Chain A
């Protein structure tokens, strides 16, 4: 069930609890807001702003958990806990992984709504 980027158990439960029209709106909100948060995260990394970095990683985790996007949530959680490290290369790698996970989650969500 949870092999794709989105955990269907979580997603279906959310859809059932809040309604299918509402989930379309919620996904659209996520797809509009998440790129902004990812941009904040990158911005914080460039400017070495620790608090902003942690908060943005936390927001990604929190929003990803809403939809059962476990991979994205776990990456966000790791970044929130570790904070911004001194190794810029490692940070860049983490950010790239997060971007890719977001793309997969976004595609997964769009596919689910189009089914």
Chain B
């Protein structure tokens, strides 16, 4: 594996220290950028990606303590390793750095051997953390990862106002029985890539994947302004992408893939369900059932997208919307007003 050159940001108000620290880290094979006070460092951190911060404490404008405090408030910077290099007097100040989140303290002038050990250990820890985050992202969306990082893991739910979307492939079972399993998996992977692209682009998170079925949540765990609008926009993009996909399918003489989508909006209970060892982010509630029933009803109504009245009421763009009427749906006591989106 080719390791990319780690990028360090050196923050120090004196030229001699900046020059020396730069030399020290470059001799160790790292790339160094410099900032002459905390304010400039924060600007650079907000614009560029660094792997580690070497931070001085005594500086004009914004000192090292203030930088440590500011970094804690920015989620994207929370995992950035910080090594304080200073010659501040008094153990209290060193303790304060550690309490504010610094990984370590190296007294100045910095000993090269100690610096080497400290840098490689901090960078290795960061690499492992990044790897874990990547792994977590593979199984959960970045919104869920962010929620887990901010609030920690706890089983249990909370009531949120959200839109739920269900989607599946029409006639998937006969299709998968008529072709080799490898081809089915390949088809599913292509389909998922396209659907995820449309979903993520509009702020949705996939909470369930069963065979060809997808359940998507808009508005949790991170609140989403106009979640109903986002869900409908995602549904429209999903259809658009499938239409393009089908053009390619037809040229290789494969059957077209058609999908059905149901969307319902309202209060749901969202949270982590499962056990302490194995859990998933999901949501439950009658709107979830409704969205699933609407999706199933697309087959009967011969439509691609069906939405409930709450979703319709939240929409700004009412173009291509058609009332289907009051429809009795399985498992729902009263008939429901259903609308189709072309």
Q: Judge: A and B partners, yes or no.
A: yes
Q: What residues of chain A have their CB less than 8 Å away from a CB belonging to chain B?
A: 14, 17-19, 22, 25-26, 29-30, 32-33, 37, 52, 54-55, 58-59, 61-63, 65-66, 77, 80-81
Given A17-B112, A61-B87, A65-B109, answer yes or no on A33-B14 (Cβ-Cβ < 8 Å): yes
Q: Which of B17-25, B135-143, B207-215 sits within the interface?
A: B17-25
29 contacts between A and B (CB under 8 A): A17-B24, A17-B27, A17-B112, A18-B23, A18-B24, A19-B23, A22-B23, A25-B19, A26-B16, A26-B19, A29-B15, A29-B19, A30-B16, A33-B15, A54-B58, A55-B13, A55-B58, A59-B58, A61-B87, A62-B17, A63-B16, A63-B17, A65-B87, A65-B108, A66-B20, A66-B108, A66-B109, A77-B89, A80-B89
Q: How far is the CA of A22 from the CA of B59 in the complex (A)?
A: 25
Contacting residues, chain A, for B325 (C-beta < 8 A): none
CB of A56 to closest CB in B, whole Å:
10
Name the one of A29, A59, A81 contacting B13, with C-beta atoms under 8 angstroms: A59
Q: Which residue of A is nearest B90, CB measured? A: A81
Q: How far is the CA of A52 from the CA of B13 in the complex (A)?
A: 13
Proximity string of chain B (3-32) to chain A, C-beta cutoff 8 Å, 1 when within and 0 when not: 000000000011111011001100100000
Q: How far is the CA of A59 from the CA of B58 in the complex (A)?
A: 8
Given A26-B20, A29-B19, A30-B16, answer yes or no on A62-B87 (Cβ-Cβ < 8 Å): yes
Main secondary structure of the interface of A (DSSP, over half): helix
CB of B61 to closest CB in A, whole Å:
11
A66 near B16 with CB under 8 A, answer: yes
Q: How far is the CA of A90 from the CA of B324 in the complex (A)?
A: 92
Q: How far is the CA of A70 from the CA of B88 in the complex (A)?
A: 16
A66 near B17 with CB under 8 A, answer: yes
Q: How far is the CA of A77 from the CA of B87 in the complex (A)?
A: 10
Q: How far is the CA of A22 from the CA of B15 in the complex (A)?
A: 14
Q: Which residue of A is nearest B110, CB measured? A: A66
Contacting residues, chain B, for A80 (C-beta < 8 A): 89
Proximity string of chain B (261-291) to chain A, C-beta cutoff 8 Å, 1 when within and 0 when not: 0000000000000000000000000000000
B58 near A58 with CB under 8 A, answer: yes
Contacting residues, chain B, for A58 (C-beta < 8 A): 58, 87-88
Whether, in the assembled complex, B60 has its beta carbon less than 8 Å from a beta carbon of chain A, the answer is yes
Number of A-B contacts (CB under 8 A): 56
Proximity string of chain B (165-204) to chain A, C-beta cutoff 8 Å, 1 when within and 0 when not: 0000000000000000000000000000000000000000
Q: Which residue of B is nearest A54, CB measured? A: B58
Q: How far is the CA of A63 from the CA of B16 in the complex (A)?
A: 7
CB of A12 to closest CB in B, whole Å:
14
B89 near A29 with CB under 8 A, answer: no
Contacting residues, chain B, for A62 (C-beta < 8 A): 14, 17, 87, 108-109
Proximity string of chain B (89-111) to chain A, C-beta cutoff 8 Å, 1 when within and 0 when not: 10000000000000000001100
Contacting residues, chain B, for A66 (C-beta < 8 A): 16-17, 20, 108-109
Considering only residues 55-79 of chain B, those with a C-beta below 8 Å from chain A are: 58-60
B27 near A18 with CB under 8 A, answer: yes
Contacting residues, chain A, for B15 (C-beta < 8 A): 29, 32-33
Q: How far is the CA of A17 from the CA of B58 in the complex (A)?
A: 26
Given A17-B112, A55-B58, answer yes or no on A63-B19 (Cβ-Cβ < 8 Å): no
CB of A6 to closest CB in B, whole Å:
13
Highest count of chain A CB atoms <10 Å: which of B20, B23, B27: B20
B58 near A81 with CB under 8 A, answer: no
A81 near B89 with CB under 8 A, answer: yes
Q: Which residue of A is nearest B88, CB measured? A: A58
Q: How far is the CA of A55 from the CA of B59 in the complex (A)?
A: 7
Given A58-B58, A81-B89, answer yes or no on A18-B108 (Cβ-Cβ < 8 Å): no
For the complex with contacts A25-B19, A59-B14, A66-B17, 8 further pairs of A-B residues with Cβ separation under 8 Å are A18-B23, A32-B15, A37-B14, A55-B13, A55-B59, A59-B13, A63-B14, A65-B109
